[in-house]
Amino acid sequence: MAADRPEPTPPSATAGGQGRPGQTNGTAADVPPASSPPELVMLDATELSRAIHAKRVSCREVMEAHLDHIGRVNLSANAIVSLRPREVLMAEARERDDRLARGEAAGWMHGFPHAVKDLAATAGLRTTFGSPLFEEHVPQADAIVVERMRAAGAIVIGKTNTPEWGMGSQTYNPVFGTTTNAYDPSRTAGGSSGGAAAALALRMVPVADGSDFAGSLRNPPGWNNVVGLRPSRGRVPNGPTPEVFVQQFGTEGPMGRSVADTAMLFAIMAGPDDRIPLSLGEDPGVFARPLEVDVRGRRVGWLGGLAEQLPFEPGVLDLCRNALSAFGVIGCAVEEAKLDFPRERIWNSFVALRSWLNAGALRPLYADPVKRARLKPEAVWEVETGIKLSGEEVFAASLARSELYQAVRNLLERFDCLVLPTAQVFPFDAKIHWPEEINGVPMDSYHRWMEVVALPTLCGLPTMAMPAGLDPRGLPMGLQIIGRWCDDLGVLQLARAYESATDWTRKVLPPPVRAS
C-alpha cells in the first residue's frame, strides 16, 4: 500500500489504458522461451555478487541470462514493466565489465540487473505510480534509495508493477494491468510491492526494493514465498520528499530470496541523509556482516489473542501456528503474548492517520474535477475521508498510536519478538479488486481485510516477513516477525536462524522456475 508520494507538481494528465484485475500488459524481452531457467538466475544474490567480483562470470553474461529469463516468464506474470531496450542494457553491462577490469568495482550490486518499484523515482525512466495521470511522467532525479543502489553498481533495467498510487494489496492498474502470483498465475501477487515480490520469486531479479505503508513489504513476500523487511521508521530515508517533518507510515525497504541477500540490500538502502532530517543516524554497515548468532533462549510471543479477534480464511492460522515450531527447533521459547489494547482503537487510529496523510498528498489531484475522475475509487475514498477530519481528531488518532506503541514496548520487555501472519487470506483471485468478506465477515473498506498488518505500521517497528509454508493448494503464506524499536539487526539475526530451520524459498520453487 502507498508508501512514496508523487512529486509536488503533477505533470499534465495523459491518456491511459483501462486495466482491470486479471488483465496483463507485460513488456517481456523479445527472446524465444527456454525450457528451464539459466543457472545464473538461480543463484542467490550473495553468490552472484561473489561470482561477478571474482570474474568467474561477466556482467554481460548475467544481464543476458536475466533478460532471456524475463522473456520466458514475464509475459504471464507481468511483474516487470517499462523494460528498457536490450541493446542499451547490454552496453551498460559491458561498461560494468570494463570498470571491473580496471579494478573499479562499484559495490555489492555491481552488474546486477535491477527493477525499481514504480513508486520510486528513476531519473530518465518512467515513474507512473500506476496512474494514468502519470503515464508518461519521467523524473529528472532518482529517489534516494535508487541513488544508493546505482552507486552500489546496480543496472536499472525497468520498474516493478504496483497498484495505482500503491493503494490496495492487489497489484493492478490502468497503465500496465495485473501482476500475478509466482505460484499460481490465477491469483494475486499482493501489493503494493507485488511486482517486486513476483519478479524476485520468479528469479527475474537477484534482489528487489519495495515500500511499505500498510503491509507492502510483508504481504507480497508472504504470498510469493520470499523474504521482506519493513525497517524501523527512519532507517531508510524516503524521498526526496516535501514531507520531511511529517512522521509518515511509509518506508522503503529490501526483499530477497534469503535473509542474507535481504540484509545486504538493506545495508545499501539504509543510513542517514541530511535531506531527510528524521532519518536514523547509525552506520548501516552492521547489516552487511554475518547474521549467524546463537538465538537459543530467545522468547517469541505469538499474538494469538489479537489474531483470533480478526477474521481469517480457514487454514491461515493453522499454517502459521505450525510454522512456529521452527522457533523451537532453533532453541527459542514460544509463548502466547497478550496485548492489552483494544483492536478497534488500533484500526481507527490507522484509518484516520492513513487517510489524513493520503488526503494531503492527493488533494491537488482531487481538487481538479478532470483529474479526480481518473483517480481510482480507493484514492477518492482516502481523500474524502481525510479532509473530513478535524485537527483534534488527527491528534486523538496520533495519541492512540503513541499509546499502542507503549503497550507493545511493554510487551517486548518480556519477549524478544512478536509474531503474526502476514495476511488474513491466502492469495485470492487476481480478477477481483479485494476480498469483500473473510470467512463470512463483511469487509467495510478496501483495506480492512489487511488489518493484521496495522500494528507494526503504527508502531514503526522493524518487521520481517518470512515464509511460513504452503497450503494444500500450493499457495504461500508468511509470518511477520516484529522486533523492538530500532533492533533491525536482532530481527535479521532471528529471521536467519528461523530460515535455517525452514528454508522454504529454496525448498519449494515456483512452477515457472522448476527445472523441466
Torsion of CA 260, 418, 248, 402, to 10 degrees: -150
Q: Is residue 21 part of a domain?
A: no
In this prediction, residue 460 has a pLDDT band, given cuts at 50, 70 and 90, of very high
Rounded-to-integer distance, Cα 173 and Cα 257, Å = 26
Beta partners for 476? 470
184-204 burial code (b ≥16 CB/10 A, e <16) = bbebbbbbbbbbbbbbbbbbb
Q: Where do the DSSP E strands lie in 64-171?
A: 80-81, 113-117, 155-160
Beta carbons within 10 angstroms of residue 30's beta carbon: 9
Look at residue 429 and tell me if it is in a domain. yes
Chain mean pLDDT for the chain: 93
Q: What length is written for the chain?
A: 516
Q: What is the pLDDT of residue 24?
A: 61
Cell numbers placing 184: 499460481
Rg (C-alpha) for the chain, rounded Å, is: 21
Q: Which amino acid, one-letter code, is at 276?
A: I
Residue 8 has pLDDT above 80, yes or no: no
Q: Which of 365, 383, 385 is nearest to 444 (CA)?
A: 385
Would residue 32 count as lying in a domain? no
- Beta-strand ranges (E) seen in 13-144 are 80-81, 113-117
Q: How far apart are CA 430 and CA 476, in angstroms?
A: 15
- Please write the tens of the pLDDT for every residue from 126-137: 999 999 999 999
C-alpha cell at 448: 480492512
Check: CB of residue 252 under 8 Å from CB of residue 225: no
- The CATH code of the domain that includes 429 is 3.90.1300.10
Cis bond upstream, residue 12 (ω within 30): no
For the whole model, what pTM was predicted?
Answer: 0.94
Q: How many CB atoms lie within 10 A of CB 104?
A: 11
Residue 52 lies in a domain: yes
Let me know: does 230 contact 478? Beta carbons within 8 Å: no
Within 388-487, residue ranges assigned H as helices are 391-411, 454-459
Number of domains in the chain: 1
**Has residue 70 got a pLDDT over 90?**
yes
Paired sense of beta strands 299-302 and 333-336, if any? parallel
Q: Which amino acid is at 47?
A: E
Cα(377)–Cα(151) distance, rounded to whole angstroms?
Answer: 38
Residue 17 lies in a domain: no
The candidate with the shortest Cα–Cα distance to 199, out of 165, 174, 226, is 226
Q: List, for residues 282-338, the tens digit of each pLDDT value.
A: 999 999 999 999 999 999 999 999 999 999 999 999 999 999 999 999 999 999 999
Q: What b/e sequence results for 325-357 when a residue is b if at least 16 CB atoms lie within 10 Å of its CB, and e otherwise?
A: ebbeebebebeebebebeeeebbebbbbbbbbb
The pLDDT tens digits of the residues spanning 218-267 come to: 999 999 999 999 999 999 998 877 667 776 789 999 999 999 999 999 99
d(CA 381, CA 478): 29
198: containing domain: 39-513
- Bridge partner list, 503: none
Residue 401 lies in a domain: yes
The verdict on whether omega for the bond into residue 174 sits within 30 degrees of 0, i.e. cis, is no
Q: Is residue 317 a contact partner of residue 439, using CB atoms and an 8 Å limit? A: no
Edge-to-edge strand list for the sheet holding 208-212: 208-212, 251-256, 227-230, 463-470, 476-482, 417-421, 299-302, 333-336
pLDDT tens across 389-442, in order? Answer: 999 999 999 999 999 999 999 999 999 999 999 999 999 999 999 999 999 999
Largest Cα span, the chain:
63
DSSP 167-200: -SSS-EETTTEE-B-SS-TTBB--SSSHHHHHHH
pLDDT per residue over 502-513, tens digit each? 999 999 999 999
Looking at residue 510, its pLDDT comes to 98
Residue 10 reports pLDDT greater than 50: no
Pairwise CA distance, residues 350 & 457, whole Å: 8
The arrangement of strands across the sheet holding 155-160 comes to 80-81, 155-160, 113-117
Residue 4 lies in a domain: no
**Cα separation values, 222 from 123, 188, 482, 491, Å:** 30, 12, 14, 16
d(CA 211, CA 171): 13
Query: Does 292 map to a domain?
Result: yes
**CB-based contacts of 223, cutoff 8 Å, min separation 6:** 181, 187, 188, 189, 190, 197, 422, 423, 426, 427, 475, 476, 477, 478
